[in-house]
Amino acid sequence: MYSELYGVYGMLKTLKTKISLIYFGLVAVIAIVGSVSVYSLFQLSGAVDGLMTHNYKSIKAVANMDDVLEKQNNSILLFLSGDKIQADKEFIQNQVLFQRYFSIEKHNITESGEKECVNNLKSSYNEYLKRFAELKNIPYEKNPKISLQYYNEQIIPLLKYIKGYLEKISNLNEKAMFRSKEYATKDSVRDMYLLLFLSIFSVVGGFLVSTFFINRFLKPLRHLTRTMKLVREGDLNQQALLLSSDEIGELAVEFNNMTKRLHEYEKSSIGKLTAEKNKSLALVKSISDPLIVMNTNFLIQLINNAFERFFNVIEDKALNRHFFDVIEDKELFEYISSSFITIEEFTEKIICIRNEEIDFYYNVIVTKVRDNDHKINGIVVTFHNVTQLKQLDIVKTDFLSTISHELKTPLTSIIMGTGLLDNESIGQLSRKQKNIISTIKEDSERLLVLVNNLLELSRIESGKAVFNMKFGHIERIIENSMKIMLEQARNKGVKLSFEFEDELPAINIDSEKILWVLNNLIINALKYSKGGESIFIKAYERESKIFISIKDNGVGIPKEYQKKIFEKFIQVKGQDMEIRGTGLGLAIVKEIVEVHGGEIWCESAPEEGSTFTFTLPLASGGKNEKSSDS
């Protein structure tokens, strides 16, 4: 007896067996409740089946017979009106239907007194058929009054008599249905209370039993968890209590062995780790550019001496505080946070940071820090001072703007003068003279385009360009651009086509500037397309942005130039000199798109065509700077 009890106790030592016993106990309770539910539903379904099948079948058959009798009565009236052939045909057809419904009722007798009514119904209906046959033998044409009198005195009373039997059969089955309904309702209420009692008992009992055993099983696990938290916080000299001999007890034993080895390892290696950490910190602190390290929640973990000096912060007060609480620069924080969610490992952007009423320009580089599992666990932000380079760029932009203004007036005069000469408004010219004047005019117009582009680019870069931002629809802008470019495309034999997604939302844009962007991209596509080729424009919505793409089948762009072409004065080597531009159009396009808060890129391959795609955000449309241009 003792050995048997010891064997059972040994089986209960494992956590798996304990959980299995609770599980099977709950399954048994669920099985009992389910069995009672199935039995109750079976009884209830039997009552409902009787209610809906037999009695309803008889009521429906009676209703159909009553309807057939009305139709036969109409056939008799049709017969009396003179259409005997049609009346006789309809009467016989309805007679067949009546016999069919009568047969259904005859084989579905379920109630007391119903059989007697069915027999009387059969004999009455046979008499009804006999009297109609007698009516047909009365010569209606000679004496219609006799036929009508026979109909009123012999057939109508019998018809009412038959309907009385039909009503009586229907009433018998309706009463039976109501009785069955009452029985079913009583049974369902009784079963409901029974199931409710069993369910409450199962829920309460299962909850109490499971709570008791779960607390008992999890007590050693909770203690082990508390010990693990202490170890995680750095206290490696911890030992878990052995409160059970099951799998959790075995886990506690292995955990204690692990903490012993970790504690021993810490003693031997902590000195080396501390020295390496101090070397790394000293190296970071000595970097001349400002640098900050943050975790994934933008809490500051480390800043170097240059960062402290420039931003006038103290590391001890800034540690473990949010970046925006320490550096209240909205543009800088928005750039860092947006760089964190991109797929690139590092991003860079030149940002103006004002310090002591002086503007400094820094190339801010955001780099993601990953662990051995390639999971991001922090970011490093480095600030490279490019103030001098930015000032030189501003001087260059101002210089180009001034030179362009000075060149524009004489160029306009040259173009007007050559136009007058070319039109021979002030005298006739020889063919050679006209060719020279035409060449001067074309080169002057090309130079004016370059000057206008330089002025536009300098205005955008300096922030003096006026952007009239309003909500509008990109479809209308594309349609206007198509109208402008259609004649040029037709003259060159190139097909222009476009496609929109349905119901694109309105966006906040400068319609004239975006029209200029589309015109410039389509003109470039036309330049490098041949007759018989096509240009396809598409607009669609993705990720809270409107995407606009212009695809051509032209000569294409080599891969090494696909990013450089958006820079100023860049031209693709090897392209036909006759169709080369100034190298400013795409630079201006890029500036306009970026002012709107969008992006632009190119996908191309030589001899396979190019696709230029730019985006416009659905929210605010970017900067809306207004100023007067001198």
Whether residue 269 sits in one domain with residue 305: no
Whether residue 369 sits in one domain with residue 419: no
Whether residue 243 sits in one domain with residue 318: no
The per-residue DSSP string of 161-211 comes to: HHHHHHHHHHHHHHHHHHHHHHHHHHHHHHHHHHHHHHHHHHHHHHHHHHH
Give which of 454, 408, 407, 401 is closest to 568, Cα–Cα.
454
| Structural domain includes residue 515 | yes
* Both tokens assigned to 349: 């952007």
Whether residue 42 sits in one domain with residue 122: yes
Whether residue 457 sits in one domain with residue 550: no
Whether residue 195 sits in one domain with residue 73: yes
The CATH number assigned to the domain holding 300 equals 3.30.450.20
d(CA 214, CA 231): 25
CA separation (Å) from 590 to 331, 335, 343, 450, 539? 21, 19, 22, 17, 18
| Structural domain includes residue 453 | yes
pLDDT at 548: 94
Give which of 605, 608, 564 is closest to 586, Cα–Cα.
564
Residue 510's identity, in one-letter code, is D
12 DSSP 8-state letter: T
d(CA 46, CA 184): 9
Give which of 63, 62, 3, 40 is closest to 188, Cα–Cα.
40
Last residue of a domain, one of 385, 409, 431: 385
Whether residue 177 sits in one domain with residue 50: yes
Whether residue 376 sits in one domain with residue 509: no
pLDDT at 549: 95
| Structural domain includes residue 444 | yes
Residue 442's identity, in one-letter code, is E
Cβ neighbour number for residue 130 with a 10 Å cutoff:
11
- The number of folded domains in the chain is 5
Last residue of a domain, one of 462, 486, 521: 462
Last residue of a domain, one of 433, 462, 491: 462
Whether residue 560 sits in one domain with residue 484: yes
Stretch (H or E) spanning 313: none
Report residues of the chain scoring pLDDT below 70. 1-16, 18, 26, 36, 39-52, 140-142, 216-218, 233-238, 240-246, 249-250, 262-282, 389-409, 411, 413, 415, 417, 419-427, 443, 445-466, 569-583, 619-630
Domain limits for position 351: 287-385
| Structural domain includes residue 397 | yes
Q: Is the pTM of this model over 0.85?
A: no
pLDDT at 536: 94
d(CA 379, CA 296): 7
pLDDT at 45: 63
Whether residue 603 sits in one domain with residue 543: yes
d(CA 502, CA 73): 62
pLDDT at 475: 92
| Structural domain includes residue 625 | no
The vertex-391 CA angle with 601 and 457, nearest 5°, equals: 40
Spatial neighbors of 469 by CB under 8 A, at least 6 apart, are 508, 509, 510, 621, 622, 624
The CATH number assigned to the domain holding 55 equals 1.20.120
